[in-house]
């Protein structure tokens, strides 16, 4: 499951933790957490270990414990409707059928959190979507490692609220 398209959000968070020397991952809030600093900003990284369609439970528990408002949360997730390797950001909006986002919306009682939408591309046929999303990245998809490196290298911009600059600096496919 580590190189699965549906796990690209976890892959991005892992890259941030590794690049910025975060604590080792440990079990907490029905997920795995790592703590650290990027510049002067103290951050908590969370990878929910619930089923995808229940990930909001984990996010809500962590947010409640640390008193984090939805606007202070950034979710990294796979996005079918964006070209492979492209990145877009937005605050709020609909879940577009993404069960993880649907769960987070429900448990935070608002969709007003930040989303880093990591493009995995659409297979072209609706009947092939599930298989595509649940398949692993191939070695031929050489855009993946540079994308994850760019996300981690520019995480300081996210931590300080410079979302437009983050998107401008992260290489686009």
Enclosing domain of residue 66: 5-169
- Confidence at residue 37, expressed as pLDDT on a 0 to 100 scale: 96
- Confidence at residue 77, expressed as pLDDT on a 0 to 100 scale: 94
| CATH code for the domain of 11 | 3.40.50.1470
Domain count, the chain: 1
What's the mean pLDDT in 145-164? Answer: 95
> Which positions are catalytic?
6
Position 62 confidence tier, pLDDT thresholds 50, 70, 90: very high
Q: Label residue 67 left, alpha or beta by phi (over 0 means left) and psi (-120 to 50 means alpha).
A: left
Which helix H or strand E contains 17, and what residues bound it?
helix 8-19
> Cα–Cα distance between 92 and 114 in angstroms, integer?
7
- pTM of whole model > 0.85? yes
């Amino acid at each position: 499951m580590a190189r699965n398209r549906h796990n690209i959000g976890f892959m991005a968070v892992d890259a941030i933790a590794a690049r910025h020397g975060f604590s080792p991952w440990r079990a907490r809030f029905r997920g795995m957490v790592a703590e650290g600093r990027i510049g002067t900003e103290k951050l908590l990284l969370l990878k929910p270990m619930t089923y995808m369609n229940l990930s909001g439970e984990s996010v809500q528990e962590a947010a409640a414990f640390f008193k984090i408002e939805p606007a202070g949360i950034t979710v990294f997730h796979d996005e079918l409707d964006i070209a492979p390797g492209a990145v877009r950001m937005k605050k709020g909006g609909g879940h577009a059928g993404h069960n993880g986002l649907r769960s987070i919306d429900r448990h935070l009682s608002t969709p007003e959190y930040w989303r880093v939408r990591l493009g995995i591309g659409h297979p072209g046929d609706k009947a092939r979507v599930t298989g595509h999303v649940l398949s692993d990245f191939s070695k031929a998809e050489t855009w993946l490692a540079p994308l994850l490196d760019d996300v981690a290298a520019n995480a300081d911009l996210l931590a300080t609220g410079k979302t437009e600059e983050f998107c401008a600096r992260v290489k686009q496919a």
